[in-house]
Amino acid sequence: MPEPASVPPTGGVARPEQRAVPAPPGDTRPVGRAALEDLPPVDADWMVDLLLQLLRTPSPAGRTDTVIQLLGEVLAQLPVDLTVTRRGSLLARLAGRSTGVRALVAHADTIGCMVRDLKDNGRLAVVPVGTHSARSAEGTRVTVLTDQFASYTGTILPLLASGHAFGDDVDRQPVGWDHVEVRVDEWCTSADDLRALGIQVGDFVAIDSLPVVTDSGFVVARHLDGKAGIATAVAALRALTSAGAEVPHEVDLLITISEEVGQGASHGLHEAVAEMVSIDNAVCAPGNHSLEDGVTIPMADATGPFDYHLTRHLCGLCERFGIPYARDVFRYYRSDVAAAIEAGAETRAALVAFGVDASHGPERTHIRSLEAVAQLLCAHVLSPLTFARWDREPLGELRDFPSEEQQAPTERFGELPSEE
């Protein structure tokens, strides 16, 4: 990767089109200006090295044990308490100086495929694991993971893969999972040949990440969605603990293993968590406002709005510390937050996102975006809860609830015209 000096520094101010966010009544976010130098320094080189390790470790949803072991070894070097759920999600707890618990959540699982059939031509029919298009999968390199722990490389190809053989029919064939197959890099001309290798229906097919870090600071790879979020969260915890920072509230870092299939943070979240911030990818595409070189704070996704007060608190932290950010709305997107809320978690919940172009395809982000997210996570962890007293308990009296005052418009019902 390039030397740090070759990567332009994170900008210190919000973009011109961004306006200050007024603080809602009762908001406890910090006032006044600060500088990034006031936050513990994030080691960008270390963060990117961790990201590359994660990207090179296959972990399609349903086959995540290896990447969780890797993360456990990394987190064991920090002063955190580690536990693992029955299903394999990883929880790291950093003690705080007072009551109250907040969670950072990121997912280790990725999109991938599963063997649906062993074909008579010695190739594999597959179905997707997670939601992604066969169009983006065509031509990708894969690794077939067998139950015997043997693995085989291969390529996802359209059924008509050669213009020399099929002419213009290559461009006219339909797009979809029924119209692709996996060519395994072994001598296989029949289903029996595949069986002899130990390949079976239900085996996982991991899409290879093939990460590249460019001289301009871009990270180009499959599976940035999820794994870059882990890298930013762990880098933030490492920065905080290395600096000896005392955090006001317990921090639970939850690494989930089934976000791509909709289950996400439905288990493993401590019941005392008052605030949950999920870290995932931002949608950099026409019609969206997400930044590929800063933080994106979504106001809502396909499952509904995120917590009003917590999202504005995060926006306020970006403004206070000069972290470039944008607000966005994601129409075809859900995260660990949705799974947690649907499972009954009584917590404020928000999403912090690093910019990703071509998500669930040949993805790209920038080191500046990852740094900005890690810096915001540090600022968030060092800040008080959104409502310091109210949010410490799951229940309270109505008279104490920090309601937002909102002026209602005057209503008019069929006024008669004046006779004058």
- Give per-residue pLDDT as tens, 284-335: 999 999 999 999 999 999 999 999 999 999 999 999 999 999 999 999 999 9
pLDDT classification of 104: cutoffs 50, 70, 90: very high
Which has the closest alpha carbon to 356: 292, 289, 288?
292
**Is residue 17 predicted with pLDDT exceeding 60?**
no
Considering the candidates 181, 250, 259, 275, report the single residue annotated as catalytic. 259
* Residue 15 clears pLDDT 70, i.e. is over it: no
Residues 6+ apart with CB under 8 A from 171: none
Above pLDDT 90, what percent of the chain?
A: 74
Q: Which two tokens stand for residue 247?
A: 């955090």
pLDDT in the model for residue 7: 32
Is 138 assigned a catalytic role? no
Q: Which residues contact 196 (CB under 8 A, 6 or more apart)?
A: none
Task: With beta carbons less than 8 A apart as the criterion, state whether 183 and 141 touch.
Answer: no
pLDDT of residue 1: 38
Kind plus residue range of the DSSP H or E element containing 313: helix 308-321
Kindly state the helix (H) or strand (E) to which residue 12 belongs, with its residue range: none
Summarize the chain as % helix, strand, coil (round to 5).
30, 25, 45
pLDDT in tens, 234-251: 999 999 999 999 999 999
Tell me which CATH code domain 4-14+25-110+223-394 carries: 3.40.630.10
Burial (CB count within 10 angstroms: exposed 0-12, middle 13-18, buried 19+), residue 108: buried
- Residue 412 has a pLDDT of 60
Strands 204-207 and 218-221: unpaired
- pLDDT class of 339 with cuts at 50, 70, 90: confident
CATH 3.40.630.10 residue ranges of the chain are 4-14+25-110+223-394
Residue with structure tokens 């109210």? 390
Domain with CATH 2.40.30.40 in the chain: 112-207
| Run of H or E residues at 234 | helix 224-242
Closest CA to 204 of 342, 326, 59, 84: 59
Please report, in angstroms and rounded to a whole number, the separation of the first and last CA atoms in the chain.
Answer: 78
Contact partners, residue 57, CB within 8 Å, separation at least 6: 66, 67, 70
How does residue 338 score in pLDDT terms, banded at 50, 70 and 90? confident
Give the architecture-level CATH label for domain 112-207.
Answer: Beta Barrel (2.40)
**Each residue's pLDDT tens digit, 63-85:** 999 999 999 999 999 999 999 99
Q: Look at residue 406 in the predicted model and tell me its pLDDT.
A: 62
SS3 call for 35: coil
Instruction: Calculate mean pLDDT across residues 405-416.
Output: 62
Give the distance between the most distant pair of CA atoms in the chain.
Answer: 96
23 has pLDDT over 60: no
- Looking at residue 265, what is its pLDDT? 85
